[in-house]
Amino acid sequence: MIDPILKAWQVDADHNERSCIVWARSYPAARREGAQQLELDWADVTDVTRIPELDDGVDDLLAWQLENGWHFECHSCYRRVTEDTGYVRRADALFCNEECAGKRLVKMLADYRREAEVSAMALDAFPGGRIDRVWSSEYGGFAALQMTDGTWKHFECAPAPAESETKP
């Protein structure tokens, strides 16, 4: 249940190309919150509109947005996704089709696997460390570790070999 003092607002930038819905007590508060969510300055907000039907909240905001003409980008190929174009939904991620949803899943699994490899290599290089963050890409990997004495160690590794390089 949404706080009864809060009201629903649609905050737009770039003339409806970027929008969000916020719950706030007033127009200025909604504009400020919306600008923050859209990572903009106050002046870059082009419109703030009340949405009274959402004052009490909604079970599935993403479904409501799609039913009311909002558009999003496919999480894989960045094509426009609307209720009219059809879509595949995985949690709060929208895809233009099953193929894109599958590609994204494969990429995520590969990224997780690579981050686990980088973490293992970093812990081998610095026993007793605690992984703080791990980053990896096709360009290599990086890990920041905090040691038991409070010092920090940084680990970098080369890119993983391409799949074609690992097959005979």
- Cβ neighbourhood burial of 58 (10 Å; 0-12, 13-18, 19+): middle
Q: Is the pLDDT of residue 38 over 80?
A: yes
Separation CA 108–CA 139 (nearest Å):
16
Please give the pLDDT value at position 116. 93
Query: Can you give the C-alpha Rg of the chain in angstroms?
Result: 22
Please give the pLDDT value at position 74. 96
Q: Is the pLDDT of residue 28 over 80?
A: yes
Q: What is the mean pLDDT of residues 108-117?
A: 91
The beta strand positions in the chain, using DSSP E, are: 7-13, 18-24, 45-50, 72-73, 80-81, 88-90, 93-95, 130-137, 140-146, 152-157
